[in-house]
Amino acid sequence: MALVDYERSESLAWVTLNRPEKLNALSHRMVAELGEVLAVAAADDEAKVVLVRGAGRAFSAGYDLGGEAEAATAGADAWHRVLSADVAATMQLWSLPKPTIAVVRGYCLAGGCELAMACDLVVAAEDARFGEPEVRYGSGPVTLLMPFVIGQKKTNELLYTGDVVDAPTACSLGLVNRVVAPEDLERVAGELAGRIALAPLPALRLAKLALTRAFEAMGLRQAVGSNLDLSSILNAAESPEKAEFERLTLEEGLKAALAWRDRRYGEQLGRRDTT
């Protein structure tokens, strides 16, 4: 079964992360399939707008930490190879030559949050939750887009604390465009995409190119590349907290490791087996 699905309805293309039993955790295979599907979407001249969603009750709860623990990646060089693939898929979405909309319900965390931020627009259900909690187990964001989306001060707060915010808060920060009732999510996102698709595709391509170039002129790609190098070193570094998290993951399962992590912060975010 494919982990990323592609379907087109007239001028709208829908890309679906399809691992609902794992809250669409981003495994290595899913990241590779996402890259392939995005290439299809970019080449499909019948598709003017691409909508990205998650199957089931979450957009994506982040990278598959259970799979990472089992892989036992060691050393900054090895981590750089692994993280480079993650960054490449996210930046492929960022630079897709047509408008993109993230359609978000439930958890949208870590790598999942980065995918949403890489989209041009975000429509979220009222139950959506956004954040990058990687610091809580000794890691950090893989694709550093948040400063360019919501600005410096709030990015500092969210990345230092690993806090998760609800959809209305994310909207007030500028991370989300619209918040709607869960039952209206795909309809509203589709209607927004339909309004965009009224424009000719060449005009949309050039508008998208101008907008991405504007952010890249501000240093976005340089920041992402620098962060990739630092993230590789960070993921290879040792700390007592990271060692305990990995031990619990391997010996008792990721659910136990996440519960231990969140208890340290006095909260339980309710995730089962993902970041």
Q: Which of 33, 132, 134, 246 is catalytic?
A: 134
Selection from 192, 24, 41, 188 nearest residue 113 by Cα: 24
Catalytic residue, candidates 33, 114, 132, 246:
114
Cross-strand partners of 104: 124
SS3 track for the chain: CCCEEEEEECCEEEEEECCHHHCCCECHHHHHHHHHHHHHHHHCCCCCEEEEEECCCCCECCECHHHHHHHCCCCHHHHHHHHHHHHHHHHHHHCCCCCEEEEECCEEECHHHHHHHHCCEEEEECCCEEECHHHHHCCCCCCCCHHHHHCHHHHHHHHHHCCEEEHHHHHHHCCCCEEECHHHHHHHHHHHHHHHCCCCHHHHHHHHHHHHHHHHHCCHHHHHHHHHHHHHHHHHCCCHHHHHHHHHHHHHCHHHHHHHHHHHCCCCCCCCCCC
- Catalytic residue check, 21: no
Burial class (CB in 10 A: 0-12, 13-18, 19+), 88: middle
- Catalytic, 36? Answer no
Which residues have a catalytic role annotated? 114, 134
